[in-house]
Structure 1
């Protein structure tokens, strides 16, 4: 493993898994040889959640809301609204869906491993 330092002014947001979000890689994937991944994710202003119900094939996923709010649906729980300061551990393989979010949404996502499969699930 290597030391990793990421500064906002040296990084840019790019497209990623969901077209209505932008992702800023925090350098954790490279520093841990792919064992972990971490991103700042923000809403694309004017876009709306159009995510399908899906699962991620991974060992760990955590989301911490920095700014704004997001509404998820989780199988077995239903709708959950997360706001600034909220944290959720999404268990491996839990079906979920992004339903809505504020235009100013920003969140941190930490995953294990850094690369994983996302599969849509039937409603």
Structure 2
């Protein structure tokens, strides 16, 4: 038979293991329950749709819906600044996308021309 007496844990280690397990299990049970109860639905619906629609906060009157669908702060100077900044960022994003496309096309054209030069200079079999 095997003698496991040399592996006996001290009372301090046993108490730590018990309390760690006792603290960990309720958290895991809550997460499992929450995922079951409020988790993603089979039809792909959001688990808490009111969080993404602003329904709870909007019903309390905490936000105002802008004419373009964005949230307004109520401070007209800030709202104007935000609208101008967002418009500028959209323009910069479009300009960058155009630059990126031109750069990729030039890079692809250069690779293709290099390939064609290599093919012309390669000996035929």
The TM-score, its normalising length taken from structure 1, stands at 0.18
Bigger Rg, which one: 2
Higher fraction of strand: 1
Q: Which structure exhibits the higher relative contact order, with contacts defined as CA atoms closer than 8 Å and separated by 6 or more residues?
A: 1
The TM-score, its normalising length taken from structure 2, stands at 0.18
Higher fraction of helix: 2
